[in-house]
Copies of this chain bind each other. A is one copy, B any other.
């Protein structure tokens, strides 16, 4: 089995790693952040603007693309890269997370999960094999196995049984792979239970995956639990494979997880919060709706080099937001994504140069929440 991941360097001040992941559509320098392209578009962003801000890899949502426009349509049109005009790497999730968060009338069996579309109520069965087939039709560079993202309020017995099933589903996903350049990542579940996470890693690590993700976090468990579970799970994962912390998170969560040894991240915070008027800066968050910005001629962040900060004032951004202009979503998303990518630049630089003072500085003040 070819290993597509190269571990370039270990940080001496933390468990952080510098790496390089090679995919069919190019190389990704890790640690990296993946903007979320839910329905075949990172909301309000042209692909060329993503490229310009240093985006290396996108995440696509299998659930959404399967329901609309349909994976077979995308396959016939040449695959997801061509469909959305993004020629860099794409990771697709399995669809499982959205089935559990958006689908109605879910029924889980050993076979898979039956659910009703949130769009039209139609009934669908998502099996491990189907999740693989859909992702192969989309032609993503990295496919994820089907798993159950377990809510935190359920009993240990359920977590154990669900995780066992997730492991069996992972094996079925491996068995369902066609001849393809697509990489496949396994997913570690196990809830907030250290022993179940450990056991899940022990079961999954020997399997022929190209990388491992940790799922079931960043879903309301709180910062302490997130750091704790992510921290102990990371150290058990194979060193020579990329480690992906799914759906996490806030800037400080990502930096903590990089320092715990994770390499890949995705989150809707930069785009969703941007559309909602919350803007990330190195001096702390800005809620652009606030009246204090109505005649503030300064950029969001004097130190930011993004198109938004180089051209527009807080007053203008507030005006766009208050007036309900589409351009507000465009500029805010662009700025927040730029921030996230510079965050990852700083992490990589700190590891590369092995200088602890280079880690993103605002964390001490905990200003960005």
- On whether the beta carbons of A46 and B323 are closer than 8 Å, the reply is no
Pick out which of these stretches binds chain B: A77-85, A175-183, A220-228, A253-261: A77-85
> Please, which residues of chain B bring their CB within 8 A of the CB of A64?
323
A307 to B51, CA, bound (A): 14
Question: Assembly of this chain: how many copies?
Answer: 2
Further contacts, 4 of them, CB under 8 A, given A41-B327, A85-B316: A41-B320, A73-B295, A85-B311, A85-B312
> Please, which residues of chain B bring their CB within 8 A of the CB of A239?
none
**A69-B315, A319-B68 as given contacts; A330 in contact with B83, CB under 8 Å:** no
> Please, which residues of chain B bring their CB within 8 A of the CB of A161?
none
**A46-B307, A85-B311, A330-B46 as given contacts; A40 in contact with B76, CB under 8 Å:** no
B-contact bits for A310-328, CB 8 A (1 contact / 0 none):
0111011011101101110
**A41-B325, A327-B41 as given contacts; A311 in contact with B47, CB under 8 Å:** yes
Could you write out 22 A-B pairs with CB less than 8 Å apart?
Answer: A39-B319, A39-B320, A39-B323, A39-B325, A40-B316, A43-B326, A43-B327, A44-B330, A46-B307, A46-B327, A48-B307, A68-B319, A68-B322, A73-B294, A77-B315, A83-B313, A83-B315, A83-B316, A83-B319, A85-B311, A85-B312, A85-B316
Chain A residue total in the interface (Cβ 8 A) = 39
A205 lies within 8 A of chain B by Cβ: no
> Please, which residues of chain B bring their CB within 8 A of the CB of A307?
46, 48
A43 to B323, CA, bound (A): 11
> Please, which residues of chain B bring their CB within 8 A of the CB of A76?
295, 297
> Please, which residues of chain B bring their CB within 8 A of the CB of A329?
326
Q: How near does chain B come to A296, taking the closest CB pair, in angstroms?
A: 9
Among A46, A48, A320, the most chain B Cβ lie within 10 Å of the Cβ of: A46
